[in-house]
A and B are shown apart, each in its own frame.
Chain A
């Protein structure tokens, strides 16, 4: 017993990490546990698979009482019905336009704001920063009616501008950038650039901005997902079909009699594709980005 080293004792008997399910559920139980986990994972992604399957089926196949996961071969008919019922690609374009522009401008505005809070001392800094942090606790629903009325007052109802510009200087993202700049851009670097005679904007643009890439990636993910999935803002400020983003366009099919489910599911599947495709390649970054407020905060 004395010859057995402590670490060996852990790795061999007690502290084998993988044996936890075995200890909790027993030998055969562990098998069931893994099966159960895989079932949960399957249920988690199933609705997306199901929506893709339905988008290939004919109406009668969708309405049959059989339980099967078979693909139909009505994909093309459903596509035709989709572009007949909805200005689908026009809404996709609006979504891409709003999300793309919104994300790019967010990166610019939030990096500028976060950089200013991190690097400079200036009159009113404490008050502005404090108000910003306090506003992060205010529930967004409180801003909904004023948002609508200001948009109306500015004559921006039913424009794409109203869907992206107001959301580009997010306190949360500015806060993230500030934290990042404080932690990882040395002040000496900025000072020495200043001594070399570089202007303030070029210090930000040429020196700081490239160093902010990691946090700006997070900002881009958070903002793009927000813009792409946004529904409430488009719902209240856009009224004509040619300005609809894809979430809003899909929702209008609910009002139709005899919902063409094949077409709707095809539209739904296409509409989630951009984000899901990106997720397949960069799931770690997306998970880290979208939980960044929670995990680091």
Chain B
């Protein structure tokens, strides 16, 4: 009772039980981060780190998974040289780039001015519009591709029906009558139409995503800058080109990078649209689809691994070029 509280505190610290508990806490604080990270580390090292190393190793071997591990045979760079000598590889590369340019460019060229205009419309209406444009982005590619397969159908698809109805409207008919000669368009069975068909689907699916990015980009433009431009007598055209667009530069850089990486790996849309075949004359075959064919239809995992590394190098190269040409300046300003 007569002990002062401070003495009690000292006595407590000296209490061995308490000390033990403290050091236990210290140890557990040291080990805790590893405990928390265990699931990530295990999954990440098994599927990513080991996976990438193994895929690199595999790309120098010939191997059929059905024949078992023992059938693995070292072949050096053969898988790579074989890919580079394969006409279908170039064909799929060409198709992939064609699709990426056609749908990717149009997505950004539409999304940027659209975002600029939508920002001026007030937040309620803007949100209504963005929600509609964003809907295709959240739904499964397989589901929407199946719907498009039906809509593209030559004789019964609504797209052809709508085109026919449109060109036969009273006034439009005077100068659009020639279109009728080409109807019905065989979207899915014509080698010149299959790529546009896929590109339209992609445009429809992804334009809303970029629209949202650009809208939030324009919204970060401060009112003061906008007002200063108006004070200086800039009209809307000048403000779009000289105020909004430079401000959007890092957003464009980011969006375009995403489009490049995404479209070079494009798989699901062409896979469903061409029913897994690549279309007539492989005119809708993308690199990822070709890789899938090699790995899971022809069961040549080594060749497919080599191709995935080639694709990786292509993506890295294109992204790097884009970064140096376009990104450095844009990122430097912010």
Which A residues are within 8 Å of any B CB, using their own CB?
A: 10, 14-15, 17-21, 23-24, 33, 37, 40-45, 47-48, 50-51, 54, 62-65, 67, 108-110, 112-113, 115-117, 119-120, 122, 125, 128, 131-132, 135, 138-150, 152, 165-166, 168-169, 171, 174, 194, 197, 199-201, 204, 225, 228-229, 231-232, 236, 247-248, 250-251, 254-255, 261, 264-265, 268, 271-272, 275-276, 279, 283-284, 286-287, 290-291, 294-295, 297
A143's partner among B35, B39, B51, B255 (CB-CB below 8 A) is B51
Count the A-B residue pairs with Cβ separation under 8 angstroms: how many? Answer: 266
* Chain A residues near B226 (CB-CB < 8 A): 15
* Residue interface mask B271-284, A partner, CB < 8 A = 1: 01001100000000
Closest to A261 in B: B150
* Chain A residues near B33 (CB-CB < 8 A): 116, 119-120, 122, 125
* Chain B residues near A64 (CB-CB < 8 A): 156
B50 with A50: CB separation less than 8 A? no
Complexed CA–CA distance, A279 and B140 (Å): 13
* Chain A residues near B221 (CB-CB < 8 A): none
B39's partner among A18, A112, A232 (CB-CB below 8 A) is A112
Complexed CA–CA distance, A149 and B72 (Å): 13
* Chain A residues near B272 (CB-CB < 8 A): 251, 254
B36 lies within 8 A of chain A by Cβ:
yes
Known: A132-B44, A139-B261, A236-B296. A47 touches B138 (CB 8 A): no
Closest to B262 in A: A139
* Chain B residues near A148 (CB-CB < 8 A): 295
* Chain A residues near B304 (CB-CB < 8 A): 145
Complexed CA–CA distance, A294 and B256 (Å): 11
B143 with A194: CB separation less than 8 A? no
Complexed CA–CA distance, A64 and B54 (Å): 54
- Distance (Å) between the CB of A176 and the closest chain B CB? 13
B122 with A17: CB separation less than 8 A? yes
Chain A facing B: main interface SS:
helix
B121 with A18: CB separation less than 8 A? yes
* Residue interface mask B115-149, A partner, CB < 8 A = 1: 00110111000011111111111111111101111
B238 lies within 8 A of chain A by Cβ:
no
B140 with A50: CB separation less than 8 A? no
A-B contact pairs, 29 of them (CB 8 A): A20-B120, A40-B129, A41-B129, A41-B133, A42-B132, A44-B135, A51-B150, A54-B150, A67-B165, A110-B40, A112-B37, A113-B37, A113-B39, A120-B32, A141-B308, A143-B47, A143-B52, A145-B305, A148-B295, A150-B51, A197-B21, A200-B32, A225-B138, A228-B140, A264-B146, A275-B139, A275-B140, A276-B138, A279-B135
Highest count of chain A CB atoms <10 Å: which of B40, B127, B130, B147: B40
Complexed CA–CA distance, A140 and B312 (Å): 10
B258 with A147: CB separation less than 8 A? no
Complexed CA–CA distance, A226 and B130 (Å): 21
* Chain B residues near A291 (CB-CB < 8 A): 209, 212-213, 216
Complexed CA–CA distance, A17 and B117 (Å): 10
B288 with A141: CB separation less than 8 A? yes
Known: A115-B36, A283-B131. A250 touches B143 (CB 8 A): yes
A294 with B258: CB separation less than 8 A? yes
B143 with A247: CB separation less than 8 A? yes
* Chain A residues near B264 (CB-CB < 8 A): 139
Complexed CA–CA distance, A131 and B37 (Å): 14
- Distance (Å) between the CB of B147 and the closest chain A CB? 5
B204 lies within 8 A of chain A by Cβ:
yes
A139's partner among B25, B30, B117, B265 (CB-CB below 8 A) is B265
* Chain B residues near A199 (CB-CB < 8 A): 25, 28
Top 4 nearest A-B pairs (CB, nearest first) are A146-B51, A20-B120, A200-B32, A120-B33
